[in-house]
Structure 1
Amino acid sequence: MSDRRGRPELTDQQRLSWLRLIRTPNIGPATFRDLINAYGSADAALEALPDLARQGGNTKPFRVTTQAQAEREMDFARDTGIRLVAIGERDYPKYLRAIDHPPPLLGIKGDPSVFTMPPVAIVGARNASIAGTKFARQIAAELASADFCIVSGLARGIDTAAHLGSLQSGTIAALAGGIDRPYPPQNFDLAQDITKRGMLVSEMPLGWEPRAQDFPRRNRLIAGISLGLVVVEATHKSGSLISARLAGEMGRLVFAVPGSPLDPRSGGTNRLLRDGASIVCETRDIVEALLPMIDNPPVIPPLAYEPPDLSTVSPPGDSERSAVVEALGAIPTPVDEIVRHTGIAPAKIHLILLELEIAGRLERHPGNRVSLHSF
């Protein structure tokens, strides 16, 4: 089935199956893609999961998200005005589609017309200075008046100022928890206001309370949705620097606002400038840099290691599985080194790693490196 613009849309049953698969433990966006690649559909992948987990060394019953659990989330989403859009569908953010391993399903609530506006992210310190919040709100308002959509993370400080500055024109808030669990709680009213002219987005299940480890995923959404990312204030250990790094890896432009070397909240932004970020002294600095990208969006470089087609791979043998496990350890190891070390075909290596990941024994790292979990 296709929408009126010719883009394919999932049927209700397909969407339910996708939801079951992505909500099953140990299944992330990369694993989801590999499973669809290997089995052709979410339904077939769901059926194969218990055997894959067992082959990967899982000794406990493997719990696949049930039809009833997925239906409850779908019903709750429908009742609260939340939509679960799939990659490739009309209201999926177009720049997010281009990142490495985009979320297969994205929860959205609000006005999807904001996705048609060129997006720019503004992030920064939660304990922002008065000057920092004033500047963030000012450039957000000026960018909004130039028909840009402002993306941020609904946090205190700079994020809040960015959303408030663009609230009347359209802003997108990426959440670390479920859309029905905006964080922090004191920004609940702001989140509701955003849905009137903007959008809340999250890849997490409805009802999910955000944990510390969920915020890097939120930062990845902020960077992926946007053409460029502006950091207003940030310490050396700020999560905003994670967003900036991810944006740079995605081919987005990274901007930073300079600050006093005596203020710790400027340590991270000044370091970004030292490392090549574009300086921002006024809104025009951002607009002039981003305008050429609107018609020529960033292209993500091809993966250093393109996963092989798993649909015709014969099941690996026990000796092959043992050889791969023996080659792995707690130190992240490049997959191509595992191939060279074991002499096993890359497609089988990939399938064995998939089994280990579904069993909860494998951790993936940047640069196509993997390691075994230490239990």
Structure 2
Amino acid sequence: MTDRIWLALSRIPGLGPVRQRALLERFGAVERCFQTGAEALQGLGLQVAQIAALQKEPADLLTPADQRWLESADTDLCRWTDVDYPPLLRHIPDPPLLLYLRGQRARLNQAILAIVGSRSPTATGMATAEAFARSLGEAGLTISSGLALGIDAAAHRGALDSGTVAVLGTGADLIYPRSHLQLARSITTHGLLLSEQPPHTAPRSGLFPRRNRIISGLSLGVLVVEAAEGSGSLITARLAMEQGREVFAIPGSIHSPLSRGPHRLIRDGAKLVESAADILSELGPLYGALQSHRPAAPSTEWQPEDPTQAKVWAAMDFDPLAPEQIAKRCGLTLTELSAILLDMELQGYLVACPGGRFCRLLPAP
């Protein structure tokens, strides 16, 4: 019954977290918000329609989507008054009073690090985000992101086995973009889908910046991988700074527009990182607690064992190169190089980039 009342409170139009919390503080329990007269609601800054809604029976405010949510076996609610409400999130300026959950609720109280970035990243950026997420997940961190295209999706994929939290800008019963439906299903196996929006809330532009405050609010820190000026991921990073969280950024080429966001963050005080170890060491006491679970650091001599592939590897950079440039550097014909590049790409040593160019892949950090 209590869940129904919380859902009803969330259905009152325009009643955001600040006024919801004011109601709870005034009346002490969510049930009492619906058991009081209009006069007692004066002075809380409520609109006439909101006061009228609080005079109704809670069940009258529920939608068919709410009923389906309550009856489903794979949905859950985390309320402001629950003992496992995320402690870090509780201390942001406007924490949501109700979280809609699908998946592993225990992820709420694990050490979380957010990874965010461009929706249109380079192949190298995608590979970097996935590698960092995998390595940090193996070290004991739960990876959070926003299930968006690009870096968000790569971060979730990298942390599927270790556990990841996807914070949605829609209702938790709707997946956006729809192309990530299978990814979302995979996340619920070892991770968690989370939203502050009531069931069946469709995507709207204003909801995603609000979603970002939860991504940072849940997390010990935020890592930015490729972001142009004006990127939504920079909003998440700014919110993290305001919330007192650590902000990390991976530098890139000075010629790439996608490096401008991370470079600006670094100028503003974000930590420049080149490996997962850089992040773990900055997290202080947490790093020590996770040390026993941390995988061995990769060899700095990470390179192909095949002599010819090693020669090609040595001739390449982490910035994209045309096959003609690579061939000239390592003394091979384009015909010889073509087969080698294909084989190295299949083995995960390099990645094909736009314009027919290639660059090294960073090893798992």
1:97, CA displacement in angstroms? Answer: 2.1
Structure 1 residues 102 and 167, CA gap change in structure 2 (3 angstroms): same
Is the counterpart of residue 234 in structure 1 residue 234 in structure 2? no
Matched, 1:224 2:217: yes
Residue 190 of structure 2 aligns with which residue? 197
Change (3 A) 1:116 1:76: closer
Is 1:180 aligned with 2:168?
A: no
Does 2:115 match 1:122? yes
Change (3 A) 1:277 1:86: same
Count of matched residue pairs: 284
1:30 paired to 2:14: no
Deviation (angstroms), 1:284: 0.7
Instruction: Extract unaligned runs of 5+ from structure 2.
Output: 290-365
Contact 2:281 2:287 in 1 (8 A): no
1:144 paired to 2:137: yes
Q: Which secondary structure state, in structure 2, belongs to the residue aligned with residue 151 of structure 1? A: strand
1:210/1:286 CA distance change after superposition, 3 Å: same
> What amino acid is aligned across from residue 29 of structure 2 in structure 1?
S
**Equivalent residue runs for 1:60-209 within 5 Å:** 62-64=52-54, 66-70=58-62, 72=64, 73-79=66-72, 81-209=74-202
Cα 1:19–1:262 change in 2 (3 A) is same
| Residue equivalent to 1:254 | 247
Give the secondary structure class of the aligned counterpart of 1:241.
helix
Shift of 1:112: 2.3
Matched position secondary structure for 2:183: helix
Shift of 1:213: 0.1
- Checking the alignment, whether the CA contact within 8 Å between 1:77 and 1:206 is kept in structure 2 is no
Number of the residue aligned with 2:281: 288
Distance change in 2, residues 1:74/1:53 (3 Å): farther
Larger radius of gyration: 2
What are the Cα deviations for residues 307-362 of structure 1, in whole angstroms up to 9, with x where unaligned? xxxxxxxxxxxxxxxxxxxxxxxxxxxxxxxxxxxxxxxxxxxxxxxxxxxxxxxx
- CA shift in 2, pair 1:173/1:57, >3 Å: closer
Going from structure 1 to structure 2, the CA distance change for 1:85 and 1:49 (only over 3 Å counts) comes to: farther
Q: C-alpha root-mean-square deviation of aligned residues, in Å?
A: 2.5
Q: In the alignment, residue 41 of structure 1 is paired with which amino acid?
A: A
How much has 1:156 moved relative to structure 2? 0.7
Helix, strand or coil: the match of 2:253? coil
Which residue type is aligned with residue 227 of structure 1?
A: L
TM value normalised by structure 2: 0.72
Secondary structure of the residue aligned to 1:37 is helix
The verdict on how the C-alpha distance between 1:56 and 1:229 changes in structure 2, with shifts beyond 3 A counting, is closer
Return the offset for 1:78: 3.3
Corresponding residue SS for 1:108: strand
Which letter does structure 2 place at the counterpart of 1:214?
Answer: L
Deviations 1:178-218 (A, max 9, x none): 11111111001100100001000001011111200000111
1:248 deviation in Å? 0.9
Taking the TM superposition and a 5 Å limit, the aligned residue runs for 1:309-328 are: none
The 1-side partners of 2:53 and 2:247 are apart by 41
Encode CA deviations 1:269-301: one digit per residue, 9 max, x unaligned. 1100000000111111111111425799xxxxx
Secondary structure of 1:251's partner?
Answer: coil
Q: Output one character per residue of 1:69-102: Cα deviation in whole Å (capped at 9) or x when no partner.
A: 4375154243151101112424433321222232
SS at match of 1:95: helix
Counterpart residue number, 1:19: 7
Give the conservation status (yes or no) of the 8 Å contact 1:109–1:201. Answer: yes
Paired-residue identity, %:
40
5 Å-filtered alignment, 1:270-309, equals 270-293=263-286
Could you say if the C-alpha distance between residues 33 and 245 of structure 1 is closer, same or farther in structure 2, counting changes exceeding 3 Å?
same
Instruction: Give the structure, 1 or 2, with the largest relative contact order (CA under 8 Å, sep 6 or more).
Output: 1
**CA distance in 2 between partners of 1:87 and 1:165 (Å):** 31
Contact 1:118 1:294 (8 Å CA) reproduced: no
Q: What is the CA distance between 1:237 and its match in structure 2?
A: 0.5
Alignment partner, residue 39 of structure 1: 27
- For the structure 1 residues 59 and 199, does the alpha-carbon distance in structure 2 shift closer, same or farther, using more than 3 Å as the test? closer
